[in-house]
Structure 1
Amino acid sequence: MDITYTTERNFTKDDVRELFSSVGWVSANYPKRLLAALMGSSMVFTAWKGVHLAGLVRVLDDGSMTAYVHYVLVDPEYQGHGIAGHLMSMVKDHYKDYLYVEVMPEESRNASFYQQHGFSIMQDGIAMQTVNDNFAD
């Protein structure tokens, strides 16, 4: 499969809305904020099939020691072709001089994917969040 990978943020609000919708993420309902969040992120690694945004990884970092992989997603139409793995390799290469690269999968079924890419489950670690019920685009 002919996929182009980049860290350039040349995606549009419609591109990200379509990608996030393809995997059923609620973030797709807030395309304006989603685009702003991606533009304000430390790094965004993307995969393109022609002009179609096929996958994306968002990373937040402190500029020195720790980077957090916030999410990894690939349009179901393009899953199974190694896109997410390639994007994770780009993340690990970019952050090779950091002490920690961390990820907190929201679904335990995704843990094996991260383990395949060198991540290990943190002893006594747990993901937590609060949700703002008044959030709007």
Structure 2
Amino acid sequence: MLKFTEDKIFTKEQVQELFLSVNWISGQYPDQLYKALMHSSTVLTAWDDTRLVGLIRVLDDTEMLAQIHYVLVHPNYQGQGIAGKMLELIKEKYKDFFYLEVMPAESKNAPFYERHGFHVMEDGVPMQIVQKK
């Protein structure tokens, strides 16, 4: 049975293994990734006993805006509804905020978020500066 928690009880190695399992470049920077997660507003994790199998990271301003930054599930656990369950828990936590935003890493993931009530921003254009590679 899976357990979900906001307690930041994960190790640097557990986080790195999860991120590398889905080929996310963040996993190549374990020190920075771990520090970023430990200083994030919310990190919701999914556990199969002692194995970290899913994670959502949220950055928020405490009142109005919350941005979902990571949603990932280990490939061996995908297709079991874990990401959807985590997303619903996050939606409940942030239900009193004006905005809960997500920017899917790939457009093919947009239907997943739409099934959970998200809509494409009408006049929004995602933009970023990549400082390091």
C-alpha distance in structure 2 between counterparts of 1:125 and 1:23, whole Å: 27
Compute the displacement of 1:127 (Å).
1.4
TM-score (norm 1): 0.94
One-letter code of the match for 2:79?
Answer: G
C-alpha distance in structure 2 between counterparts of 1:35 and 1:84, whole Å: 20
Q: Judge which range, 82-91 or 123-132, deviates more.
A: 123-132
Residue number in structure 2 paired with 1:52: 51
Q: Does residue 32 of structure 1 match 2:52?
A: no
Moved over 4 A (4+): none
1:1-41 residue CA offsets vs partner (Å, 9 max, x unmatched):
x1100000000000000000000001001001100000010
SS at match of 2:92: helix
RMSD: 0.9
Residue number in structure 1 paired with 2:129: 130
Stretches of structure 1 lacking an aligned partner (at least 5 in a row): none
Tell me how many residue pairs correspond in the alignment: 133
Residue number in structure 2 paired with 1:107: 106
C-alpha distance in structure 1 between counterparts of 2:59 and 2:27, whole Å: 20
C-alpha distance in structure 2 between counterparts of 1:101 and 1:132, whole Å: 25
SS at match of 1:85: helix
Compute the displacement of 1:124 (Å).
2.6
Compute the displacement of 1:92 (Å).
0.4
One-letter code of the match for 1:63?
Answer: T
C-alpha distance in structure 1 between counterparts of 2:5 and 2:39, whole Å: 17
TM-score (norm 2): 0.97
Q: How does 1:59-70 map to 2 (within 5 A)?
A: 59-70=58-69
Compute the displacement of 1:43 (Å).
0.3
Does the 8 A contact of 1:106 with 1:127 survive in 2?
Answer: no
Compute the displacement of 1:56 (Å).
0.2
One-letter code of the match for 1:24?
Answer: N
One-letter code of the match for 1:98?
Answer: F
Stretches of structure 2 lacking an aligned partner (at least 5 in a row): none
